[in-house]
Chain A
């Protein structure tokens, strides 16, 4: 297996020296020798300028900015998660287990509430229909009657025998 600490091969040559010089990584003796050569060797000096130019153009790369919201959420995230981890009993599972369980419980409660609402909404018309069943069953007869008052009068006269299904 490759050892990443050994990669890549060491740089060498004039350009490597120039890069190290630009990066301020040469020792005093090497730097003095290189500067003497730069004074005498115009192509060598031009090479240095080219390397510097390419390095300088990286300055156009935009710098990121962080707004207050990022700072706040970062702080909250760190403190809240850390607190969650500290509150968990030893061997209590992964960091996200607590919040995840809470989310599942919330979902279950919401699902149950939704079921109840739907069930009540569906049953309401059925209940109304059950209450109206005696009327529906005798609808043909009622069509011959002009008014409810007339029916009540007949009932007071004892014309209708009591029926079991009159009461819902």
Chain B
């Protein structure tokens, strides 16, 4: 396999993280530490919103970095490093979801506490339908409402929104990350945004939420 220096000389357009990964491939612990420091918060943010649980997000993020390190000798610079990293993250998260389903664990999506109280998604739906009187939202409730709206998305929709919003990935990069076609990503994102709009728009316009959840 060619050394990282030879690859760098032969490829004028490599992103800095890919260059770091090539050093990791050559067993540079410092380069690996730099990559971890650069990506850990981004990865944790996506994984935490994806699985709704900080502890699990940390476990998954460490598993992702572990896989990156284990795969270093086979690493071939192709797509952007971030795309490769989040592709691994998507696989790790999918595997974890499958394992959870097999173990029949309780899904955290249906949380029943917080500013919106019990069965908050039902209340958001009622608000969207205009059946309930309203009151002004505070900051914590806006965060809670947006989190609940995100959790109302299916796993793929949530991932595509997170990659687009937080990672500012193009449709092509998201498609590469998730192993789908670009038109499929466009459609998935469109539907996800539609779902978010249906839930959030009715009271975002007015800045209001259902009452009784002081």
A-to-B contact residues, CB < 8 Å: 4-11, 15-16, 19-20, 23-25, 50-51, 53-55, 57-58, 60-66, 70-71, 73-75, 77-79, 81-82, 85
Report yes or no: B179 in contact with A4, Cβ–Cβ below 8 A.
yes
Cβ-closest 8 pairs across A and B: A64-B44, A11-B190, A78-B69, A11-B187, A66-B40, A64-B45, A10-B183, A54-B197
Of B33, B180, B189, B196, the contact of A75 (CB 8 Å cutoff): B33
The 28 listed contacts between A and B (C-beta, < 8 Å) are: A5-B179, A6-B181, A8-B184, A8-B187, A8-B188, A11-B186, A11-B191, A16-B187, A19-B189, A19-B193, A20-B186, A23-B189, A53-B201, A55-B165, A55-B193, A55-B196, A58-B161, A60-B143, A60-B146, A61-B143, A63-B45, A64-B41, A66-B44, A71-B37, A74-B40, A74-B66, A75-B33, A77-B65
Q: In this complex, what residue of A is CB-closest to B62?
A: A74
B-to-A contact residues, CB < 8 Å: 29, 32-33, 36-37, 40-41, 44-45, 48-49, 54, 57-58, 61-62, 65-66, 68-70, 139, 142-143, 146-147, 150, 161, 164-166, 170-171, 179-181, 183-184, 186-191, 193-194, 196-197, 200-201, 204-205
| A60–B138 alpha-carbon span in the complex (Å) | 12
Not counting A4-B180, A54-B200, A64-B44, a sample of 19 additional A-B residue pairs whose C-beta atoms are within 8 angstroms of each other reads A6-B181, A6-B184, A7-B180, A10-B183, A11-B189, A50-B197, A50-B201, A53-B201, A54-B193, A54-B196, A54-B204, A57-B142, A58-B196, A60-B142, A61-B147, A63-B166, A71-B33, A74-B62, A81-B70
Report yes or no: A62 in contact with B143, Cβ–Cβ below 8 A.
yes
Of B32, B186, B189, the contact of A78 (CB 8 Å cutoff): B32
What's the least CB distance linking A56 to chain B, in Å?
10
| A20–B187 alpha-carbon span in the complex (Å) | 10
List residues of chain B with CB within 8 A of the CB of A25.
170-171, 186
List residues of chain A with CB within 8 A of the CB of B193.
19, 51, 54-55
Report yes or no: B44 in contact with A9, Cβ–Cβ below 8 A.
no
What's the least CB distance linking B79 to chain A, in Å?
17
List residues of chain A with CB within 8 A of the CB of B143.
60-62
List residues of chain B with CB within 8 A of the CB of A79.
29, 69
| A73–B33 alpha-carbon span in the complex (Å) | 11
Report yes or no: A65 in contact with B179, Cβ–Cβ below 8 A.
no
* A23 and B164 contact, Cβ closer than 8 Å, known pairs A64-B54, A70-B40, A73-B62: yes
Of B70, B166, B170, B200, the contact of A85 (CB 8 Å cutoff): B70
